[in-house]
Structure 1
Amino acid sequence: MAAVHHWTGLEARALRFALRMSVRAFAEHLGVAVRTVSKWEKLLAATEPRPDTQAILDTALARAEAGAHLRFETALSEAGRPGQGRQVTATGPRAWEYESWTDDLDRVVVALSRQDFLFADNLLNRWLARFKPLELDDKGLYLFARSTALLGDLQRDQGAVLGPMSAQHSYAGARSVFAQLDIPRRVAQLDLSLAVVAEMSGKLETAARHYETLAVDDRLSRRDRARARLWVGTALSKDGNHDYAARVMLAATREFEDLSEPDDWSVAHQKLALAHRGAGHRDQALRFIDIARRTGVTDSPMQRVRLDTAHGHILLSDPATRNDGLRILDDAAKLATEVGLSHQLGSIESIRMTSEGASRPRQR
């Protein structure tokens, strides 16, 4: 929701437009003289309402409906762009835009956790398309970089890993801006995201090396270092080194328990299950996946798909439970298709094909 810290005639006119009132109706709505509103309309940013009138404008904006707030933001944005009004000199975001941008990024985080990709994409591009980095101050650059990093998360979750419109490209761009702003923690977090991209694109040895370095990187929080340690195990397991991977993952799991991070703790058990499945320890794998299923986040389609994929993969390793495994994979594939998780859908298809090949009788 927009907020104005300092009203000028420019913001007052934008509010009148947003409320869809005439000059006279707006003056009556505020309880001021018509000539006062006319003065605001003429001088715009060159005039400021009196302190008591500033408070009246605050109240009028706060009581406006949601649609009026959106029209207010739009009117101010259009007025503040270069060439849109001769009396407006600002070229970067105004204070209210920073607040709206920050609020939108919080909404993006929630949308991504629910895999509401369309909503997240609309919110991000609302800001990334509005401003160029060269017209932003440090606060604006921070929001721009954070938006670009979240765009990378969206692209990664949708399976766009490499290329000009990919997670790798967005993460690299965000990292460059955070490095320019000299924010080491954010730079390290982007290094971690780029290592995930390397793993997803099949560069397992490269990813494992990066994870190992980041697992002891003081720029990262203790939680992020534990995640890096867990992902070392993931890369090792994908590369066939299942027993060592399980030991590394178990250390990360204990770290998440010490940190009281239940979601990460559950994900770690899911990955442990797959490592034990790869090592041929089916009973251990079933035990760990059962823990993950009982404690995992249930309102995230992404996590439901991952849990079901891991469970189905484990069940496929025994002919007695193969049909159950295929049924669970079918459900996971259906959900992945519904929410647009192309990378997970590809993993499910790969598991199916591998299972079909293993179940065919060998010809002599």
Structure 2
Amino acid sequence: MATVHHWTGLETRALRLALRLSVRAFAEHLGVAVATVSKWESKRAGTAPRPDTQAMLDTALGRADVSVHVRFETLLSEMASPARHLAQPAPGPRLWEYESWAEDLERVGVALSRQKFAFADSLLNRWLVRFQARELDDKGLYLFARSTALLGDLKRDQGCLLGPLSAQHSYAGARAVFVQLGIPRRIAQLDLSLAVVTEMSGKLEIAARHYETLAVDDRLSRRDRARARLWVGTALSKNGRHDYATRVMRAAIRDFEDLTEPDDWSVAHQKVALARRGAGDLDQALHFIDVARGSGNTDSPMERVRLDTAHGHILLSDTATRDDGLRVLDQATHTAARYGLVHQLRSIEGVRAMSEGLAGPLRR
């Protein structure tokens, strides 16, 4: 087992990386300030923690398992070489780190599907904080870009669409790396994600044009092209072109049937239901939302909220079912608030405001 006779910033950095912790998480682990850890790492062997902190570091290393000790010794030997002493950037990932990084990205995907945002964020920042893009080889850059794209998904689901720490910013950053790597499919997928942000930001005509272009883009898989077609219909429906939107979205439904994609098929029925509500055809709207509710992914809080919001919206359109609609929206509000789904909360409030402002509600 590894032992350290005297800790410097060099050894503390090696221990942090061996434990696979961010600077913030490592500081919390030791009970010291983040700025203290940053100072150790910036000065490397030129600084030493206080005696009481040396004891805490001894304890942290002593309690670590064998795999951490192996990584710690490997990292320390690499950092201690003359070349490493002079180099300012942190060393790039080793082979075992690539494997761990890829595994973490799989865990992020599962966490996002269940709206466990804090956990997903901690997994992503474990790697995005650890490495700079300039110190990575192509494999590391690919993982870095995938991490940045997933961070965009997280920000989008949280309703943070525009600005320096937003979904748009993360997607644009990931896209730039995939352009550097020359991976057309990933570039097109990021174009699709950016179009979603454009739609969610209310720029419906621009989003619809982007979707139309991507719906016939051969860089995308058939499933992604079908999604783009579905989102063309969504943007059109939000802009009041409900009948045209219905035709476009029904074509997407046929694609999802051929591809055997039940989740996408359900989402498409939900969106067609809203288009029929907008057109005043409440019988068809209720039919399509019942299909969506019967086949949707109720394990996902996000999908439950979307289904309940659409269902409530339709019920509010008829005075006979208005009270039922309000109850369904209350349920959607509770779930959205519990999981921090800010964009969905805004949508629900928009539905309520629209319902209250209607002079003459539609009737079946």
Q: What TM-score results when the alignment is normalised by the length of structure 2?
A: 0.78
Q: Cα distance, 1:298 vs. partner?
A: 1.1
Q: Label 1:67 to 1:169 Cα distance change in 2 as closer, same or farther (>3 A).
A: same
Distance 1:119 1:331 in 2: 25
> Using the alignment, how far apart are the partners of 1:256 and 1:350 within structure 2?
30
CA contact (8 A) 1:246 1:275 kept: yes
User: 1:85 aligned to 2:80?
Assistant: yes
In the alignment, residue 81 of structure 2 is paired with which amino acid? Answer: R
Counterpart residue number, 2:168? 168
Poorly superposed stretches of 4+, deviation over 6 Å: none
After superposition, give the CA deviation of every residue in 1:187-210 in whole Å (9 maximum; x if it has no partner): 000000000000000010000000
Deviations 1:193-235 (A, max 9, x none): 0000000000100000000000000000000000000000000
* CA-to-aligned-CA distance 1:90-143 (integer Å, 9 cap, x gap): 821100000000000000000000000000000000000000000000000000
What is the match of residue 280 of structure 2?
280
Question: Quick one: structure 1 residues 184 and 317, their matched pair in 2 at CA, closer, same or farther if it must change by over 3 Å?
Answer: same
Residue aligning to 1:152: 152
Once residues 297 and 66 of structure 2 are traced to their aligned partners in structure 1, the CA distance between those partners, rounded to angstroms, is: 34
Q: 1:197-212 residue pairs with structure 2 within 5 A?
A: 197-212=197-212
Query: 1:174 deviation in Å?
Result: 0.2
Q: In 2 relative to 1, CA 229–80 (structure 1 residues): closer, same or farther, beyond 3 Å?
A: farther
Distance (whole Å) between structure 2 residues aligned to residue 313 and residue 291 of structure 1: 16
Residue of structure 2 in register with 1:251 after alignment = 251
Q: Deviations over 1:14-45 (max 9, x none)?
A: 8xx98xxxxxxxxxxxxxxxxxxxxxxxxxxx
2:72 matched to which residue of 1?
75
Task: Give the C-alpha shift of residue 75 in structure 1.
Answer: 3.1
Corresponding letter in the other structure for 1:86? S
Secondary structure at the counterpart of residue 321 of structure 2: helix
What are the equivalent positions in structure 2 for 1:347-358 lying under 5 Å apart? 347-358=347-358
Post-superposition shift, 1:87? 6.2
C-alpha change, 1:322 and 1:123, in structure 2 (3 Å) is same
1:78 Cα offset (Å):
5.9
Which letter does structure 1 place at the counterpart of 2:80?
Answer: G
Structure 1 pair 230–242 and aligned structure 2 pair: CA distance change class (3 A): same
- Superposition pairs of residues 224-263 of structure 1, within 5 angstroms: 224-263=224-263
In 1: Cα distance, 2:359 partner to 2:77 partner: 65
Aligned residues: CA RMSD:
2.4
SS of equivalent residue, structure 2 residue 358: helix
Paired with 1:333 and 1:110, the residues of 2 have a C-alpha distance of 23
* Secondary structure of 2:160 counterpart: coil
Offset of 1:360 from its aligned partner? 8.4
With over 3 angstroms needed to count, the CA separation of the structure-2 counterparts of 1:271 and 1:80, relative to structure 1, is: farther
For 1:276 and 1:319, locate their aligned partners in 2 and report how far apart those are by CA, in whole Å: 17
Q: Using a 3 Å threshold, how does the CA distance of structure 1 residues 280 and 74 change in structure 2: closer, same or farther?
A: farther
Question: What is the CA–CA distance in structure 2 between the aligned matches of 1:110 and 1:240, rounded to whole Å?
Answer: 35
| Partner-residue secondary structure (3-state), 1:99 | helix
Displacement of 1:357 in angstroms is 1.4
In the other structure, the counterpart of 2:326 is: 326
- Map Cα deviations across residues 227-262 of structure 1 (whole Å, 9 max, x no partner): 000000000000000000000000000000000000
Distance 1:281 1:151, change over 3 A: same
Please say if residues 305 and 336 of structure 1, whose CA atoms lie closer than 8 Å, have aligned partners that are also in contact.
Answer: yes
Give the aligned partner of residue 122 of structure 2: 122
Number of residue equivalences: 299
Q: Distance in 1 between matches of 2:74 and 2:125?
A: 15
8 Å Cα contact 1:79/1:88 also seen in 2: no
TM-score normalised to structure 1 length: 0.78
Look at both structures and tell me which one has the larger radius of gyration over its CA atoms.
1
CA separation in 1, counterparts of 2:133 and 2:275?
44
In the alignment, is residue 213 of structure 1 matched against residue 210 of structure 2? no
Q: Do the aligned residues in 2 keep the contact of 1:80 with 1:91 (CA within 8 Å)?
A: no
Structure 1: gaps spanning 5 or more residues: 1-9, 19-65
Give ranges in structure 2 of 5+ residues lacking alignment: 1-10, 20-62, 85-89
Distance 1:73 1:333 in 2: 49
